[in-house]
Structure 1
Amino acid sequence: MQLEEIKETCPFCWSCIWLLVDPSFDQIYTEDCSVCCRPILVKTTISDNQITLTLAQEDDGF
């Protein structure tokens, strides 16, 4: 398993953050922002070897 580092924007503080993503399967998980420490809901979708991330505030859900 090789993780990929992807740059995204925190939905709370709007800071740029780096997330480590497992590109082998779709998943939904919670990760704390490295800047403001608030919980971010992360959804990864893998399609045609392309990774799509959707970030949301944990209370909002998908």
Structure 2
Amino acid sequence: MNALESVSQRCPYCGERIELLIDTSEGAQTYVEDCQVCCQPMVISAWLTEEDDLNVTVFTENDAY
């Protein structure tokens, strides 16, 4: 698996498809990134399974906490 993985997700605010670059060398991570379309802050959670499959979930700030 490459250190940077590109994944396609939908923005939880505007619903548009966006591309995210995830640094898989960081392990499990949660961070905030603005949507490239509507500029709303999305909370992104990414982790690798035991089989090294990348899982990514995207939430609004209110849904994540």
TM-score, normalized by length of structure 1? 0.91
Q: Specify the alignment match of 1:21 in structure 2.
A: 22
What is residue 40 of structure 2 aligned with on the other side? 38
Query: For structure 2, which runs of at least 5 residues remain unmatched after alignment?
Result: none
Structure 1 runs (4+) deviating above 3 angstroms are: none
Percent identical pairs in the alignment equals 35
RMSD: 1.3
Structure 1 unpaired stretches of 5+: none
Q: Structure 2 CA distance, aligned partners of 1:18 and 1:36?
A: 14
Aligned residues: 62
More helix by percentage: 2
Query: 1:59 Cα deviation (Å)?
Result: 1.7
TM (norm. structure 2) is 0.87
